[in-house]
Chains A and B, each alone.
Chain A
């Protein structure tokens, strides 16, 4: 079974631009969660999607948004990029629920904002 895949693996953007990251969960997994990891803040929860609906949301501004498609693939969008958005963005999939089911993480997308 293929693991969680994320594209692209690396991105360089400039302030003010917007970016879309993609995550394909493990086949059969319906829950997709997104995390931001930075050296200063550690791993922070962004949101969780299940059946095309956002089920949980972390404490991030509205510039961070996401969606999930009927095939469970998910995208995350960040608009009006700021320098502080530079981070590793991790996606994780699980069968039904991010916490009670084991989460499987993707390799991440390294975003650099210049």
Chain B
């Protein structure tokens, strides 16, 4: 069974700090790893990673994948209170077909204090 483990489960920081969120996974037929930000109800898409070592960046957020060690990290620099959210990691198992099934981690609850 596919498994995604995120750490830490919760994190409290002050504005301006840099945070690193971790996601490790076990998947039979890896296809991609995705990061989402969930603030109130619906998660919003952040990144999709398919290749090792290639950093994806969007403003103060960046993410990288290590397919050999089976993990990914999400970095947020110069955190702001608006970054407070649950960050979800998901992996896609291709399962031998063209279309994959997503398995989500528990999420990391990030709280940024002013």
Which residues of A line the B interface, CB within 8 A? 4, 33, 35, 42-45, 48, 50, 55-59, 88, 90, 92, 97-100, 102-108
Contacts and interface: CB of A to CB of B under 8 A. Distances in A.
Interface of B is mostly: strand
**Chain B interface residue bracket vs A:** 20 to 34
B68 interface: no
Contacts of A104: 45
Given A59-B1, A99-B31, A100-B32, A45 B103 contact: yes
Nearest to A45: B102
Interface in B1-59: 1, 31-32, 34, 41-45, 48
B42 A99 contact: no
B65 interface: no
A42 B5 CA distance: 11
Contact of A45 (B45, B95, B101): B101
A56 B100 contact: yes
A97 B104 contact: no
A42 B32 contact: no
Contact of A55 (B1, B88, B90, B99): B99
Given A43-B88, A90-B42, A99-B32, A56 B99 contact: yes
A41 B100 CA distance: 21
23 contacts: A4-B42, A33-B102, A43-B104, A43-B107, A45-B103, A48-B99, A50-B99, A56-B99, A56-B100, A56-B101, A58-B101, A59-B1, A88-B41, A90-B41, A90-B43, A92-B42, A99-B31, A99-B92, A99-B102, A100-B48, A104-B45, A107-B41, A107-B42
